[in-house]
Amino acid sequence: MLFPILSILAGLIILVWSADRFVIGAAATAKNSGMSPMLIGLTIVSFGTSAPEILVSLMASINDAGSLAVGNALGSNIANIGLVLGITAIIAPLPVKSAVLRKEMPLLLCITLLAGAVLYNLNITLIDGILLVASLIACLILFAKFQQSNTPEDHISDEAEEIPEMSTGKALFWLVLGLSLLVGSSRMLVWGAVEIATHIGISELVIGLTIIAIGTSLPELAASIASALKKHHDIALGNIVGSNIFNLAAVMAIPGFVSPVTLDAIAFNRDYMVMLSLTVALLIFCLLQRPAKINRVEGSLLTAAYAAYMFVLYTMST
């Protein structure tokens, strides 16, 4: 058990660090190539925040652990809303941009419902993967149209504005090194998780929903808390909405392309329904207030809901 535990700890640390390096390198390379900050935010940064989940899902599917990959996608979305947004809102109330409330959040709800339709038969096949990726492409097109139609006050100041100045050579170095370490640390994480699950009899799904999901959500947690402390509260929600869309449309699609997987009914009845409930609750919290915001009360409720979900997972697995 010692080596799998060390593999998970080392994998998580390297995963978080390399994801940050990958985003910086990719964004700086794109910036030096003439891409606008907004386009970088919609593509490079959005992909980068979901890179840990994507790589872990790919490695899990290659190692015939498709249920771990699905658990990672569902668990990361649950963690993003219940843990990341909850803690961030407790630190500082989160104003919600009107454009996000009108456009991106309803789009997240639509993708969540589509994911439910895919999961309903408890199989993720090649057709399901193609459908999810097609929805991702549609989302990217809609994101671009949303940005064109937004008024200046609707625009969210994304991380692209904080891209450090660096030469193209240095940017490419961090891009390649970050991606290489992402792949290696993902393999370490998946190997350790599968070994522990096999040894103590916990399902790969539960490992994906807990250890892997929380670990791959650490970049979002760190970014959101940092944004709150810097008084950039409007960044946090937009990042989480975009990351959750990527998780469902890209991460969950991977097993369908690599190794189709059959899931236990509990993956839909318990885990998907918790994710859907938190997504709907988030939308309701925003709609109940004018101007829309997530206060400390709502943040506490989201965090409490996540803690209750973790407790249910623990009791059911033991």
pLDDT in tens, 245-270: 988 999 999 999 998 899 999 999 99
Q: Which residue would you say has higher pLDDT here, 8 or 127?
A: 127
Tell me: pLDDT of 315 over 70.
yes
Comparing 117 with 28, the larger pLDDT belongs to 117
In the predicted model, is pLDDT for residue 186 greater than 60?
A: yes
Q: What is the pTM of this model?
A: 0.79
Question: Of all residues in the chain, what percent carry a pLDDT higher than 90?
Answer: 30
Structural domains in the chain? 2-317 (1.20.1420.30)
Enumerate residues 6+ apart whose C-beta is below 8 A from 315.
none
Task: Write the single-letter amino acid at 296.
Answer: R
151 confidence band (pLDDT: 50, 70, 90): low
Which contacts qualify for 109-116: CB closer than 8 Å, 24 or more apart?
A: 109/279, 109/280, 109/283, 111/135, 111/139, 111/244, 111/245, 111/248, 111/249, 112/77, 112/244, 112/248, 112/275, 112/276, 112/279, 113/276, 114/248, 115/248, 115/249, 115/252, 115/272, 116/268, 116/272, 116/276
Check residues 314 and 280 and name the one with the higher pLDDT: 280
Reduced to 3 DSSP states, what percent helix, strand and coil does the chain have, rounded to the nearest 5?
Answer: 80, 5, 15
Average pLDDT over all residues of the chain: 82
Could you give the angle at which helices 218-229 and 46-62 cross, rounded to 10 degrees? 160
Average the pLDDT over each of 83-92, 133-142, 225-234 and give the range with the smallest value. Answer: 225-234
Element (H, E) at 94: strand 94-95
Residue 157 confidence class, pLDDT cut points 50, 70, 90: very low
CB-CB contact of 167 with 226 (8 Å): no
pLDDT at 158 > cutoff 60: no
Q: With 60 as the cut, is the pLDDT of residue 42 above it? A: no
Identify the residue with better confidence: 219 or 40. 219
Cis omega (within 30 of 0) for bond into 95: no
pLDDT at 119 over 90: yes
- pLDDT tops 70 at residue 155: no
Model confidence at 8, pLDDT cuts 50, 70, 90, reads: confident
Provide the pLDDT for residue 146. 75
Question: pLDDT tier at 128 (50, 70, 90 boundaries)?
Answer: very high
Report the pLDDT value the prediction gives residue 231, as an integer from 0 to 100. 63
Is the pLDDT higher at 136 or at 50?
Answer: 136
